[in-house]
Amino acid sequence: MAAVLTLLVVLPAITLWVVDRSITRQTLYDAGQALTTAQAVFLQSLGNRAGVLGSRYRNVVGDPRFLTVVRLQDANTMHAYLRDLLEEFADDTEVLAFVTLDGKLLVSKDGKSSGAQRDAALPVADFTREAAGAVRNALGGEIGTGNLVQGNRALNIVAVPVVVPERGLVGVLVAGAQLGENALQQLKPPKTEIVLLANDNVIASTLRGPATRAAVLRWASSAKDFETPAADGPEVREAVFNGEHCLALMGDYGRTPWSPGFRFVLVSSYEQRREALETTRSRVLGLSLAGIIASALVVWFFIRRVTQPLRELQQSAEAVGRGDFSRRIERFSNDEFGELAVTFNQMTTNLQNSRVELERAMQTVKATQEQLIQSEKLSAVGQFVAGVAHELNNPLTAVIGFSELLQTAQTDEKTKGHLDRIAKSAHRCHKIVHSLLSFARQEAPERKLVDLHVVLEEVLEIMAYDLRTSNVTVVRDFVPSLPKIMADPHHLQQVFVNILGNARQAIEPFQAEGRIIIRTHCTDEWVAVEFQDNGPGIKPQHLARIFDPFFTTKPAGKGTGLGLSLSYGLIQEHGGKITAQSELGHGATFLIELPVAVNPNPALLRRSGTPFPFAPVNAPTGKTVLVIDDEQWILELAGELLRSEGHAVETAASGQQALELMSRQKFDVLVSDWKMPGLNGIRLYEHLVATHPELSGRTLFMTGDVVSDTFQAFLSQHHLTCLSKPFAISEFRSAVTRMVNAKR
């Protein structure tokens, strides 16, 4: 009994000490982890701030007003413009400067420079000199960013290249935004204070009171070992600032070869946690003492009677704590301990069943989450590609049009060869954009006559870069003539991209020189395409499961296991079959068989390529044509082509400008972009119907964007035509000729 009572006192005391130490360490550890996370959030916020500044001033350098000022090359004008720009932004931007290609400011006779600042204590010339590193990056064609300390200010630096369309790169716009107390209040993580240090001074802080700031500065000055941080990052340390217990972490930001950057100190108070820990320690100690006394009395009474049953119950409980829910206790008596054994067994049974159900639910949740993530990725890709198509189609129109126009001029053979290469390269860019848009566009499933070779070539165009950079050669073994099939080309593209992507990923770590052979063949009823690679192959135990949902042999985070299962479902929806064969170490072969179209409708075989017949040789001339587009080079190209046909051409850069021209002059044909800022094509046409009905029937739309369902319905309703950019010269001339010949 004495030994038991001694253990009842000693063991809880030791447990309390260990628990107290563990809780204390855990409290400090949690606070330290929170501070480390706050550091990551702060650094990320600084990076985001630089990105926002870069986006803002990239828009500024593209503003026609700014480009007009740049063309003047006048320091006084630039100074006035930048000063107005500072007032317009009304934020933390302290200084703006325009630097020429030689890295210098423009200076007028009266001493004004091509820069402006809010505070005269921040000289523009000194700022430009210290930001020379960012300026050099911008002169290389990229946005330069960085940080510097000038005086008692910490500044975020952004240098944006200034490009004038007709002259190219002419200089750099450099901006400096102060990282002051207001900015730090917005950037700081919750329950964290920030102090910025430079030149042994506090230059900005979210702490209140000079005494606290001075205490932080003294602490930072004494932390000499921060000069060589540990391999796993800066160390979180305890500190006392004005009697308050805190955790502090110091680090560097913005250090570059041309700028020392600045230091920051993150401070987080754990005074409340410390007080709560003291309160908890006192309560636990009191409860423990009371428990020890009560336990001693109970043990003294029951020790001989319950030792063995309790030991068995303890062992079973420990097993359950380790996750062994299969443990059961025999009912050793009919008293309360026997009932406890029955209850314990019921509890473990319920826990075991709940654990199984929980694991199943977690698997379902994980699978659903992966499907949602994949769906969101595909949706984002579709939106991104649609935007890229619009941005590329306009300049591609100019490249294709002017290169074809120059080919008709009197030039030597060498120049014609160069022009031919330009035109072919531009057509290839257009083909890539069209293929990407076709693959990423989310449309309802459709069935139409499809040439399998065309779909394969579009997929290979999309994946050409990935295959080439992975040293994978594609060998085409196509039969000369392949029957058409009824299919959804977008779904087939998804299947082919998935198979080729899997093959490339398998080959890359296995073969220095990869090879994928694509074969096509057919019978009277089936069209087949075969993908054979020289990768590592598929293990026999995996071959039977590769089409199962969520089955993948890729590392965690590298695959969802849905690609081949979705491909299997898409091929089955087309009435086809997909199978795989493989020998470990000798590659894999995927065979897809699709049914041949029966009694195809000839109308479905017509391609949706060139929508206009070639212009007749005796096309009418001498007509007056109004061309409307917000892209200047499109206006120049259209004017050149139409004037060469003998037409009189007027151009307008907006719908409003076109209305002004039509109010003064009568036109025979109207050629207008659909998507323009301000008065767009649809609104312009509605105005034409009301004011110039005779011209509304001779209106030709053109666009480099994806034609939406709304605009497609508008075209069908009014029997109008839309010419897609980029277009060939012959397409444009034919379309205009049709408008000239249209009934009035």
Say yes or no to pLDDT of 340 above 90: no
pLDDT at 591: 94
Report d(CA 525, CA 485) in Å as an integer: 10
Kindly state the average pLDDT of the residues 383-394. 69
Cis-peptide into 726, omega within 30 deg: yes
Of residues 268 and 375, more confidently modeled: 268
**Which range is least confidently modeled, 109-118, 385-394, 430-439, 548-557?**
430-439
Per-residue confidence at 619, pLDDT binned at 50, 70, 90?
low
H or E stretch at 389: helix 336-407
pLDDT at 611: 41
Which segments within 349-482 are labelled E, that is strand? Answer: 448-450, 472-477
**Which range is least confidently modeled, 133-147, 178-192, 480-494, 538-552?**
538-552
Q: What are phi and psi of 428, to 5 degrees?
A: -65, -40
Burial state string for 283-317 with b = 16 or more CB within 10 A and e = fewer than 16: eeeeebeeebeebeeebeeeeeeeeebeeebeebb
The SS3 of residue 520 is strand
Report d(CA 331, CA 340) in Å as an integer: 9
Report d(CA 208, CA 194) in Å as an integer: 11
Mean pLDDT for the chain overall: 80
449 forms bridges with which residues in the sheet? 486
Say yes or no to pLDDT of 190 above 50: yes
Tell me, what DSSP letter sits at residue 613?
P
Kindly state the average pLDDT of the residues 708-734. 81
- Tell me the range of 228-242, 430-444, 603-617 where mean pLDDT is highest: 228-242
Report d(CA 486, CA 492) in Å as an integer: 11
Report d(CA 494, CA 436) in Å as an integer: 11
CB 195 within 8 A of CB 265: yes
Of residues 607 and 273, more confidently modeled: 273
- Tell me the range of 109-113, 474-478, 608-612, 730-734 where mean pLDDT is highest: 474-478
Kindly state the average pLDDT of the residues 515-528. 93
pLDDT above 70 as % of the chain = 83
Per-residue confidence at 520, pLDDT binned at 50, 70, 90?
very high
Report d(CA 240, CA 621) in Å as an integer: 89
Say yes or no to pLDDT of 556 above 60: no
The per-residue pLDDT for range 19-57, each reduced to its tens digit, is 777 887 887 788 788 888 888 888 888 888 888 888 888
Q: Which residues contact 482 (CB under 8 A, 6 or more apart)?
A: 451, 452, 453, 520, 522, 527
The per-residue pLDDT for range 152-188, each reduced to its tens digit, is 888 888 999 999 988 899 999 999 988 888 888 888 8
- The position carrying tokens 């991209």 is 497
Say yes or no to pLDDT of 452 above 90: yes
pLDDT at 424: 73
Per-residue confidence at 615, pLDDT binned at 50, 70, 90?
very low
Kindly state the average pLDDT of the residues 527-546. 89
Per-residue confidence at 246, pLDDT binned at 50, 70, 90?
confident
Say yes or no to pLDDT of 127 above 80: yes
Of residues 144 and 233, more confidently modeled: 144
pLDDT at 608: 36
Per-residue confidence at 474, pLDDT binned at 50, 70, 90?
very high
Kindly state the average pLDDT of the residues 487-505. 89
Kindly state the average pLDDT of the residues 313-331. 74
Q: Which residues contact 667 (CB under 8 A, 6 or more apart)?
A: 624, 625, 626, 650, 661, 695
Report d(CA 646, CA 659) in Å as an integer: 24
pLDDT above 90 as % of the chain = 15
R_g over Cα of the chain: 37
Say yes or no to pLDDT of 491 above 70: yes
Residue 569 burial (CB count, 10 A) = 14
Of residues 296 and 78, more confidently modeled: 78
The per-residue pLDDT for range 456-470, each reduced to its tens digit, is 998 998 888 889 988
Say yes or no to pLDDT of 365 above 90: no
Compute the half-sphere exposure of residue 605: CA atoms within 13 Å on the CB side of its CA. 8
Say yes or no to pLDDT of 311 above 80: no
Say yes or no to pLDDT of 113 above 70: yes
pLDDT at 1: 57
pLDDT at 291: 77
Per-residue confidence at 320, pLDDT binned at 50, 70, 90?
confident
Kindly state the average pLDDT of the residues 714-732. 83
pTM: 0.38
Tell me which residue of 383, 330, 325, 324 sits closest to 350, measured CA to CA.
Answer: 325
Say yes or no to pLDDT of 250 above 90: no
Tell me which residue of 518, 517, 408, 38 sits closest to 246, measured CA to CA.
Answer: 38
Report d(CA 303, CA 288) in Å as an integer: 20
Say yes or no to pLDDT of 62 above 80: yes
Q: Which residues contact 194 (CB under 8 A, 6 or more apart)?
A: 42, 184, 187, 188, 204, 205, 206, 264, 265, 266, 267
Go through the domains of the chain in sequence order and give each one's CATH number.
184-274 (3.30.450), 446-605 (3.30.565.10), 624-741 (3.40.50.2300)
Per-residue confidence at 516, pLDDT binned at 50, 70, 90?
very high
Per-residue confidence at 604, pLDDT binned at 50, 70, 90?
very low
654 forms bridges with which residues in the sheet? none
The per-residue pLDDT for range 411-430, each reduced to its tens digit, is 777 777 777 778 777 776 77
Kindly state the average pLDDT of the residues 550-562. 63
